[in-house]
Structure 1
Amino acid sequence: MIERASETAGTEHSDGQEADDAAPQQAENPVKYSMSPGLSGFLGANRISLAISSYQSGKFYLLGQNTDGGLLVDERLFRKAMGIAVPDKDTLLLATLFQIMRFKNVLGPDQQVNNLFDHCYVPRQIYVTGELDAHDVGQLKDGRIVFVNTLFNCLATPSDRHSFTPIWKPPFISKIVKEDRCHLNGLAMEDGVPRYVTAVSKSDTIDGWRDRRFDGGILIDVQKNEVVLEGLAMPHSPRLYDGKLWVLNSGTGELGWVEGLEDGKAEFKPFVFCPGFVRGLAFHGNYAFVGLSKPRYERFEGLALDERLREADSEPWCGVQVIDLKTGACAHWFRIDGAIGELYDLAIVPGVIRGMSLSFATNEIMGLITHDPLEEGA
């Protein structure tokens, strides 16, 4: 059983444009969710929730286990929801169309909202960046947000005065300019430090990456400021986990890791094929959570993914597969059919069984008011 808690599924809507835009799409092509029988139990047993973003639909999801054992799907509207980071169980970061947001959980250990949700994430800090096509996000050691500024080909932090502050650019990018040249996208953090990024190409001309989608993808070591791996197909979502650097080779539909970084002979080692354009990667225990999207064929036509799908006699689908890292088998899955065909990012929210967030498309955010204890002697 899947229970939805959302603006679009419920009866309460604000007069905001986001809700108005979503309703016709849902009516014309309703969204259907399905899952493997053990998914909700797996989330509950591990005391985790799964955060998912879909930039195409503007949906931000929190998946957890409901009180009856079924799957609880909390969905909220944020225009072009993109990169997600979870610095701790009370903090979420989300990149959107023109903002970078920091959410905080406002509930105490024994508190609930609507007699159901054990965590409630409210956007407390919002940085208005303008449309930068922000992709992955992370948190630096000093608490600042760092994000992949794809339009300007750099890593950046929000600025108190400007749209952003660039802190690093790839060595082959000649200047900080408003031209998506290499399609910088993925970010791997380690102990509050940016370690690796992915890009679709080494192009230094506007939109040059589109001609390099098939085998121009690269991995860059940010600390060494050098390209350490080439020949990938639209790579995304580099992640450091359990002593390995994992990468999604999106154009081939493969989850794999990188070997040989220490001796300068880096090589991508495919681990498992997933039936979709893979993008969004998270880990918990012995499992990898992989996001799948339906390819946009007018843009991604001819990628190796097409042939792999034909060989497997499979159609691409949108959703999440939970991969057993010991066997490579898909242990659990969550699938989305209908109007939503593309996801961007995934993140594990530890210690949260039934989480919810608040967006700006309902009146809930105006009515939920919490405060700190009174400061004596202030």
Structure 2
Amino acid sequence: MTDYQPPHLDEEQESEAAEAPKPDPLRSVYTSSFGEILKQTGVSLVVSTYQAGKVILIRYDPDTETVNTHFRAFAKPMGIAVDANRLSIGGTNTVWYYRNMPAVARKLEPEGKHDAAYLPRRIHVTGDIDIHEMAWAGDGELWLVNTRFGCLCTLDADHSFYPRWRPPFISALAPEDRCHLNGLAMLNGRPQFVTALGETDTRGAWRENKANGGLLMEVPTRTILLRGLSMPHSPRWYDNKLWFLESGEGSIALADVRHGTWRTIAQVPGFTRGIDFYGPLAFIGLSQVRESATFSGIPLVERLTERTCGVWVVDLRDGRTVGFLRFEEGVQEIFAVQVLPNIHFPEMLEWNDDRIKNSYVLPDDALAEVPEEMKE
């Protein structure tokens, strides 16, 4: 963790949340402290919203001194995996692979403003497996939470997906969403923890006890570490601690696996799902959650009649909210939140972008054979 000290969010700042420069129907508001956090830490965020069909780059614009929300259209984007120059996004029945090309970023208009440009490289067709969280392993392999089949899987050129692990209580590999496996935490470059909404083994059976039937498991030992959770999501190993979101409570919690307990660090005004960290700060995705059978009866709905969608920043040391960005229209649900460290103003090129036609990335030895006047 770094020594970064976040600005204090007081009532005046919250009431004077500045309106972000984004027109309807995707407008947002944010606290001045949220912009200051992005500016001082030098990070940006990539956020997915399957409900709105968008991937959002949230970045600080030094020219206007405002927070910029940059939207890209995707088909049901959910899990996001970031590792060095790689960015992957899980969608309806595909995984999209992007690569950061700094040389392209330097050529984007206005010149000199962008410090990262993610270009599409390939698509893997998985079929509809309801991809939830994803993460890169230390060996360079991408791991997916395959929620529909209740397993962890990887990808190869010959198969839709390759099943690698599933909970011991799931008796068969069937596309029935038997336990709603959803979250994945890596440790030392390997899958270590997962969350699920029920210890169940029939189609959709987790829905019967969603309010407190959730669990957290250890992958290598296949043991259940915590039971009785309210719709847990997004386990993360960070700062030598195991964090997770208890979404049904609208909270972030810290696990004590030795004693089989957990402690709430902060409650926020929405369904918590998607989290990443920088120093002592947690960037947490919030969803309004619909008034539907899926979300009825959970503690958050009982606690709050009005719920919020956006990204909340919580100081892990004391649980204070130190800034937020809130979507006013268009976006009601967030799935993934990922920090792009040391990237201030990224761009993501869409598949039909004309600039992709003339952006060639070659090995160094091949580039040496290109005429000098053509390299730029």
1: distance between equivalents of 2:176 and 2:41? 43
Unaligned runs of 5+ residues in structure 2 are 1-18, 371-376
Structure 1 residues 204 and 109, CA gap change in structure 2 (3 angstroms)? same
- Deviations along 1:248-287, one digit per CA (max 9) or x if unpaired, are 000111111101x24xx22121111011111011110010
CA contact (8 A) 1:358 1:364 kept: no
CA drift at 1:364: 3.8
| TM alignment of 1:296-315, pairs within 5 A | 296-298=290-292, 299-309=294-304, 315=306
Residues 1:75 and 2:66 aligned together? no
CA drift at 1:374: 4.8
Q: What SS does structure 2 have at the residue aligned with 1:114?
A: coil
2: distance between equivalents of 1:112 and 1:377? 21
AA at the equivalent of 1:2: A
AA at the equivalent of 2:109: N
2: distance between equivalents of 1:365 and 1:92? 19
Of 290, 306, 311, 1:320 maps to 311
Structure 1 residues 136 and 355, CA gap change in structure 2 (3 angstroms)? same
CA contact (8 A) 2:271 2:300 kept: yes
CA drift at 1:3: 4.2
| TM alignment of 1:91-130, pairs within 5 A | 91-108=86-103, 111-115=106-110, 116-130=113-127
Q: What SS does structure 1 have at the residue aligned with 2:193?
A: strand
2:184 maps to what in 1? Answer: 187
Q: What SS does structure 2 have at the residue aligned with 1:108?
A: helix
2:359 maps to what in 1? Answer: 369
Structure 1 residues 285 and 368, CA gap change in structure 2 (3 angstroms)? farther
Structure 1 residues 42 and 211, CA gap change in structure 2 (3 angstroms)? same
2: distance between equivalents of 1:365 and 1:181? 44
1:35 maps to what in 2? Answer: 30
1:86 maps to what in 2? Answer: 82
Structure 1 residues 316 and 197, CA gap change in structure 2 (3 angstroms)? same
CA contact (8 A) 2:105 2:116 kept: no
Report percent identity of matched pairs: 36
Q: TM-score, normalised by structure 2?
A: 0.88
2: distance between equivalents of 1:306 and 1:192? 36
**Segments ≥4 residues shifted beyond 6 Å:** none
2:14 maps to what in 1? Answer: none
| TM alignment of 1:91-170, pairs within 5 A | 91-108=86-103, 111-115=106-110, 116-170=113-167
2: distance between equivalents of 1:99 and 1:85? 14
2:5 maps to what in 1? Answer: none
CA drift at 1:306: 2.0
1: distance between equivalents of 2:361 and 2:353? 19
- Deviations along 1:147-187, one digit per CA (max 9) or x if unpaired, are 00000000000121111000000010001111110000000
2: distance between equivalents of 1:2 and 1:306? 28
- Deviations along 1:80-139, one digit per CA (max 9) or x if unpaired, are 110112111x22121111111221111239824112322110121321111110000011
2:228 maps to what in 1? Answer: 231
Of 240, 255, 273, 1:279 maps to 273
Aligned CA-pair RMSD? 1.9
Aligned length: 346
2: distance between equivalents of 1:50 and 1:295? 22
Structure 1 residues 350 and 109, CA gap change in structure 2 (3 angstroms)? farther
Deviates more, 1:36-45 or 1:342-351: 36-45
| TM alignment of 1:209-224, pairs within 5 A | 209-224=206-221
- Deviations along 1:218-266, one digit per CA (max 9) or x if unpaired, are 001001111111000110000111111001000111111101x24xx22
Q: TM-score, normalised by structure 1?
A: 0.87
Q: What SS does structure 1 have at the residue aligned with 2:129?
A: coil
AA at the equivalent of 2:202: T
AA at the equivalent of 1:227: I
CA contact (8 A) 1:359 1:365 kept: no
1:331 maps to what in 2? Answer: 322
